[in-house]
Amino acid sequence: YKRQDIWDLAKYADVPVINMLDDFAHPCQILGDFQTIKEKKGNIDTLKISYFGDAYNNVTYDLMRMCAIFGLKLDVACPDNPEYSPEQIVLDEITELSKNTSAEVRIIHNAIKAAQESDIIYTDVNRSLSSLS
């Protein structure tokens, strides 16, 4: 489940390694989610997505990455508490990924504000399942 374990496996494997998820990423879920969004909404270039839930998890991290790469607007609505907020290393990565796009990825602690003018409402559990073990 640790990212480094998957990277090590990929480094030494003689076959392709597909990362279904790790502690910092959930790439296949996000690809599937964006395929569904594209099927339902068509052009994704001007969409604003609003995420609600625990933002200290791999799904939120990849949602933020995808929006940063594609230049989308994303408001992440989560409690104003470090246990529910993205890690600084991820926020720094999002800032770097957004430099060459028109992305606006914001952490907001107000659900009503985050929902305003949203084209997509994206939710997850209020507390990540991985944190409960």
End-to-end CA distance of the chain: 13
Q: What is the pLDDT of residue 124?
A: 78
Is pLDDT above 70 for 117? yes
For the segment 38-46, the average pLDDT, to the nearest whole number, is 94
Residue type present at position 16? P
Is pLDDT above 60 for 132? no
- Exposed/middle/buried for 62, CB within 10 Å: 0-12, 13-18, 19+? buried
Look up the CATH number of domain 3-126.
Answer: 3.40.50.1370
**Consecutive H or E run containing 57:** none
Q: What is the pLDDT of residue 104?
A: 97
Q: Binning pLDDT at 50, 70 and 90, where does residue 34 land?
A: very high
Residues contacting 106, CB < 8 A, separation 6+: 74, 75, 76
Residue 119 in contact with residue 47, Cβ under 8 Å? yes
Domain boundaries, the chain: 3-126
For the segment 96-106, the average pLDDT, to the nearest whole number, is 97
